[in-house]
């Protein structure tokens, strides 16, 4: 851990808010800035990172010292996920808490990450075993990036995540409101698909930074399915510009 300068945990108390997509795009964006980056997928039951980066056909290897080698996505981005250990996309991981903790510990301590400027950890939804294990094993993190969507139904669960961070003394680096409106590519008019603006309100209520709103873009979903990080594909799009704006404060944290 002493060779990792910054450790970011991407969290949400709610599933389906695009948290893994935000984590993957953040890691790729940091790597495009010339930083050495690691991306750790801590979602044991639903690992998404290998598919998001189109490395889901790769398998892990170890060196002579039996340290696991992370998958190299690019020259300065390395990835680790239980997805690399499964025989197929349909294989279910049916584990209790202690086994999940042990795996996360191995992913952090027995993986040859090398020297990193940033380690981005994609945590599963909720405030249970995995986030607790990540915080414990990392031995301290710079903080959490919390992802939500605009509607109040998401905010109810995401607020629990913010309370969790406060209770375990994990700083909140900021809140990102994903799927925040749709900007028509033809007329540039904005339409709110989901009602509400929960991200900005939560940031105000919990006195933490609000990193910004990320509009819905159908091309982002298509890019994710193809394993192409959207942040590198369409720099002129409003969604990519919003992602970059949200990520900028994290580059200097």
Domains present along the chain, CATH in parentheses? 4-251 (3.40.50.300)
Percent with pLDDT over 70 in the chain: 99
Measured distance CA(74)–CA(33) in Å, rounded? 13
Query: What pTM, to 2 d.p., does this model score?
Result: 0.94
Contact (CB, 8 A) for 251 and 33: yes
Which pLDDT score is estimated for 49?
A: 97
Four-point Cα dihedral 80, 118, 63, 100, nearest 10: -40
Which pLDDT score is estimated for 65?
A: 66
3-state helix, strand, coil in the chain (%, to 5): 40, 20, 40
Which pLDDT score is estimated for 156?
A: 93
For the stretch 180-198, pLDDT in tens is 988 777 777 778 888 778 8
For the stretch 140-185, pLDDT in tens is 899 999 999 999 889 999 999 999 999 999 999 999 999 998 877 7
| Tokens 């993986």 -> residue | 111
User: By C-alpha distance, which of 192, 39, 185, 183 is closest to 122?
Assistant: 39
CA 7 to each of CA 121, 151, 156, 210, 230: distance values in angstroms, whole numbers, following the listed order? 8, 29, 26, 19, 23
Which pLDDT score is estimated for 102?
A: 96
Measured distance CA(104)–CA(110) in Å, rounded? 10
The residue ranges of the chain whose pLDDT is under 50 are none
């Amino acid at each position: 851990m002493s060779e990792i300068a910054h450790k970011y945990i991407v969290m949400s108390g709610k599933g389906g808010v695009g948290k893994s997509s935000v984590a993957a795009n953040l890691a790729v964006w940091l790597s495009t800035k010339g930083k050495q980056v690691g991306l750790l997928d801590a979602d044991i039951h639903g690992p998404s990172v290998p598919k998001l980066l189109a490395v889901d056909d790769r398998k892990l290897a170890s060196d002579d010292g039996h340290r696991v080698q992370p998958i190299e996505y690019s020259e300065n981005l390395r990835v680790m996920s239980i997805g690399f250990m499964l025989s197929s996309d349909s294989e279910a991981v049916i584990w209790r808490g202690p086994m999940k903790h042990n795996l996360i510990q191995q992913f952090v301590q027995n993986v040859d990450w090398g020297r990193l400027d940033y380690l981005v950890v994609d945590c599963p939804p909720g405030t249970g075993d995995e986030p607790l294990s990540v915080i414990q094993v990392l031995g301290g993190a710079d903080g959490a990036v919390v992802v939500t969507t605009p509607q109040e139904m998401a905010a109810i669960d995401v607020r629990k995540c913010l309370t969790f961070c406060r209770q375990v003394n994990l700083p909140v680096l900021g809140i990102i409101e994903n799927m925040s409106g749709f900007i028509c590519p033809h007329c540039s008019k904005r339409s709110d698909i989901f009602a509400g603006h929960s991200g900005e309100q939560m940031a105000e209520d919990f006195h933490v930074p609000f990193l910004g709103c990320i509009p819905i873009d159908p091309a982002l979903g298509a890019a994710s399915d193809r394993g192409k990080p959207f942040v590198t594909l369409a720099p002129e799009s409003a969604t990519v510009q919003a992602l970059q704006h949200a990520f900028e404060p994290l580059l200097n944290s």
